[in-house]
């Protein structure tokens, strides 16, 4: 999982290919609002005055814009700038938590993550946004690779992803919540999860808070009854849902798939990025399979959409995250909770009913 020379260039085409509309306007307005010269001065100062320039590539995600800063000695950094939230909320605590999580991952695991050289948390900074200056990985993420991994590259790519998930699962924290700092004794300080609260002492407390506060995604569907029943069933059965109710609790990336993994042109894993929503989670949540290979739980999917042949089955054979991974119905629960917040139509209550009936 080390960086190498197999790299023909960035494939950051999303911004340039965006059609006219609100998302394009948002991105262009943000691009025009940034004082890029001020950003270059910050980068130069961090390297004791070494001159630098911006490369023309513009990377764009849902919440971030990315530019490459190249110094005269050919060293490259990435400037990752936080765009204003669509709902107008304050993202100040998110970038601080992401920075603390990256430090935790670097210290407590073998997961390759870019080193952060500078963190700016001020929304009114002279650059015009919150940002990080970090090491540049010479590769591309899933969005820029059309979310496609060639068949001959899948075994190595998925094995590398499995190694990352194992390393995350080995990081254990005393409560469920966001990493927000380090205490004087070296232990990690945990804070609330946006929209849910916390930190929580038990997995049951987390499941009950999720059932009380989680909102179904922005789509209305004809099976609303099953959607609403799912939350009640989860709350009523929260005490026994987790195989590890009282912790310690593993780290969960919360958006772990090859959309947030940087690969070189041979699909060798170079690093894991975007730790903004990471938190210490119940084993069942942290143990969900990477988004790249996760399935819609068959109980909540329409029967004609479920293919019993799971092509990726067995890719993690020989690795054990926990007994949660050996229980497919708890895997389905974690997937259902994620899909619920994304607004995916489905018979959610059936997922809980099957898990309850097998108890």
- Crossing angle, helix 224-236 and helix 348-357, to 10 degrees? 40
- 132 lies in a domain? yes
Q: Is the domain of 284 the same as that of 298?
A: yes
In this structure, what CATH number is given to the domain that contains residue 209? 3.90.1200
Residues 336, 343 contacting (CB under 8 angstroms):
no
Q: Is the domain of 88 the same as that of 124?
A: yes
Q: Is the domain of 221 the same as that of 313?
A: yes
- Domain of residue 323 covers 143-357
Residues 6+ apart with CB under 8 A from 73: 50
Tokens of 123: 């929304």
Q: Is the domain of 26 the same as that of 87?
A: yes
| pLDDT number for residue 122 | 92
- 1 lies in a domain? no
| pLDDT number for residue 344 | 78
Q: Is the domain of 133 the same as that of 21?
A: yes
**Which residue pairs, CB below 8 angstroms and at least 24 apart, start in 178-184?**
178/93, 178/97, 178/101, 178/278, 178/279, 178/280, 179/97, 179/100, 179/101, 179/104, 179/251, 179/278, 179/279, 179/280, 180/93, 180/96, 180/97, 180/100, 181/100, 182/100, 182/103
| pLDDT number for residue 108 | 96
Edge-to-edge order in the sheet of strand 52-60: 52-60, 64-71, 76-82, 131-135, 116-120
| pLDDT number for residue 75 | 97
Tokens of 139: 């590769």
Q: Which residue ranges in the chain fall short of pLDDT 50?
A: 1-4, 219-222, 302-320, 322
| pLDDT number for residue 147 | 60
- 3 lies in a domain? no
| pLDDT number for residue 13 | 78
For 103-126, the pLDDT digits (tens) are 999 999 999 999 999 999 998 899
| pLDDT number for residue 91 | 62
Q: Which of 118, 271, 248, 114 is nearest to 188 (CA)?
A: 248
**Among candidate residues 111, 139, 167, the one where a domain is terminated:** 139
Q: Is the domain of 87 the same as that of 216?
A: no
| pLDDT number for residue 321 | 58
In this structure, what CATH number is given to the domain that contains residue 103? 3.30.200.20
**Among candidate residues 118, 139, 160, the one where a domain is terminated:** 139
Q: Is the domain of 93 the same as that of 177?
A: no
Q: Is the domain of 63 the same as that of 180?
A: no
- 232 lies in a domain? yes
| pLDDT number for residue 224 | 67
SS3 content of the chain, % helix, strand, coil (to 5): 40, 20, 45
| pLDDT number for residue 316 | 40
| pLDDT number for residue 250 | 93
Q: Which of 134, 144, 118 is nearest to 57 (CA)?
A: 144
- 353 lies in a domain? yes
pTM given for the model: 0.82
């Amino acid at each position: 999982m080390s960086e190498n020379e197999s790299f023909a260039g960035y494939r950051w085409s999303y911004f340039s290919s965006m059609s006219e509309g609100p998302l394009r306007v948002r991105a262009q307005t943000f691009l025009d609002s940034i004082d890029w010269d001020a950003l270059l001065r910050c980068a130069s100062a961090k390297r004791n005055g070494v001159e630098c320039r911006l490369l023309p590539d513009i990377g764009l995600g849902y919440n971030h814009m990315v530019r490459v800063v190249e110094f005269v000695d050919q060293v490259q950094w990435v400037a990752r700038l936080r765009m204003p939230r669509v709902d107008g909320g304050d993202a100040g605590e998110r970038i601080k938590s992401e920075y603390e999580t990256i430090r935790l991952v670097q210290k407590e695991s073998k997961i390759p993550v870019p080193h952060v050289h500078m963190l700016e948390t001020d929304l009114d900074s002279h650059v015009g946004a919150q940002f990080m200056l970090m090491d540049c990985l010479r590769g591309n993420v899933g969005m820029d690779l059309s979310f496609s991994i060639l068949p001959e590259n899948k075994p190595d790519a998925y094995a590398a992803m499995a190694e990352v998930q194992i390393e995350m699962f080995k990081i254990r924290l005393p409560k469920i919540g966001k990493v927000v700092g380090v205490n004087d004794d070296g232990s990690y300080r945990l804070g609330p999860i946006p929209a849910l609260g916390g930190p929580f002492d038990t997995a049951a407390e987390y499941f009950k808070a999720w059932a009380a506060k989680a909102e179904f995604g922005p789509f209305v569907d004809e099976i609303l009854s099953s959607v609403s029943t799912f939350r009640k069933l989860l709350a009523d059965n929260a005490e026994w849902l987790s195989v590890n109710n009282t912790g310690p609790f593993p780290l969960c990336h919360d958006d772990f798939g090859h959309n947030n993994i940087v690969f070189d042109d041979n699909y060798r894993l170079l690093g894991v990025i975007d730790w903004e929503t990471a938190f210490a989670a119940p084993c069942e949540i942290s143990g969900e399979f990477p988004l790249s290979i996760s399935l819609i739980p068959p109980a909540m999917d329409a029967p004609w959409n479920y293919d019993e042949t799971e092509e990726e089955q067995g890719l993690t054979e020989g690795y054990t995250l926990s007994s949660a991974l050996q229980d497919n119905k708890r895997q389905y629960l974690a997937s259902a909770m994620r899909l619920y917040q994304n607004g995916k139509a489905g018979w959610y209550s059936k997922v809980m009913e099957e898990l309850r009936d097998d108890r």
